[in-house]
Chains A and B, each alone.
Chain A
Amino acid sequence: AQTVTQSQPEMSVQEAETVTLSCTYDTSESNYYLFWYKQPPSRQMILVIRQEAYKQQNATENRFSVNFQKAAKSFSLKISDSQLGDTAMYFCAFMKWVNTGTASKLTFGTGTRLQVTL
């Protein structure tokens, strides 16, 4: 079974600053995917960024980037130039590769609540 750990329940960052959210995971799988999802207050979860484990290059998506350390099983999210709209709960999640004909699933961490302040 896979586990995902987010050790920072809450974080705060000032607008325009950079913040890094931590995530570690444990798995015996060799092929898998890692995700960061954002859940604004009273809204659905939306994908921030996705990383395929077989890719060495870290994924980036505008102001969002990851530091993927496969050997250390670490997958941190960096938010640059933080904006008030980044205030949300952030979930790290793991998905293992599965064969055709079956559905995979996301295993979530407990989340980090990020508050962006003026």
Chain B
Amino acid sequence: EPEVTQTPSHQVTQMGQEVILRCVPISNHLYFYWYRQILGQKVEFLVSFYNNEISEKSEIFDDQFSVERPDGSNFTLKIRSTKLEDSAMYFCASTPLRTGELFFGEGSRLTVL
């Protein structure tokens, strides 16, 4: 069964460094998302992406963050100049329908020291 895959599963970085989290959505899906979950807290929406552009972004998704779909398969989240509070689990999701079930990856745990 097709799955959303994310790499790396865990990344440790120093504060101020840039991080790129990668996602391979399910191949026929059209809508892509990033969510994050700070340990013990709720899952928060970061950004949605459709037709090669951002569809919606949350107030969390400031200039520090960017997303790209550089080719037909990858969907990346870049965090520039990481802060301690960026430490979280980041989930990628995709769906073929604009109001359908989201399929989630296993997440990338980011630890900022």
When distances are taken between beta carbons in the complex, the residues of chain A under 8 Å from B43 are 45, 91, 106, 108, 111
Range class of the B interface residue count: 20 to 34
Q: Is B73 an interface residue, CB under 8 A from the partner?
A: no
Complex Cα spacing A108 to B104, Å = 14
Please tell me which one of the listed residues A42, A47, A98, A107 contacts residue B101 in the complex, with CB atoms under 8 A apart: A47
Interface-central residue, A98, A103, A105, by most chain B CB under 10 Å: A103
- Would A44 and B4 count as touching, CB distance under 8 A? yes
Q: Is A64 an interface residue, CB under 8 A from the partner?
A: no
- Would B98 and A44 count as touching, CB distance under 8 A? no
Interface of B is mostly: strand
Query: Digit string of B14-54 for contact with A (CB within 8 Å is 1, else 0)?
Result: 00000000000000000111010000011111001111000
**Between A and B, how many residue pairs show CB distances below 8 Å?**
59
Complex Cα spacing A46 to B44, Å = 16
Complex Cα spacing A91 to B107, Å = 16
When distances are taken between beta carbons in the complex, the residues of chain B under 8 Å from A91 are 43
Range class of the A interface residue count: 20 to 34
Q: Is A68 an interface residue, CB under 8 A from the partner?
A: no
Complex Cα spacing A105 to B45, Å = 7
Complex Cα spacing A84 to B43, Å = 24
List residues of A (37-70) whose CB comes within 8 Å of B's CBs. 37, 42-47, 50
Please tell me which one of the listed residues B41, B48, B105, B107 contacts residue A105 in the complex, with CB atoms under 8 A apart: B48
Interface-central residue, B32, B50, B91, B102, by most chain A CB under 10 Å: B102
**A residues apposed to B, CB below 8 Å:** 33, 35, 37, 42-47, 50, 91, 95, 97-98, 100-111
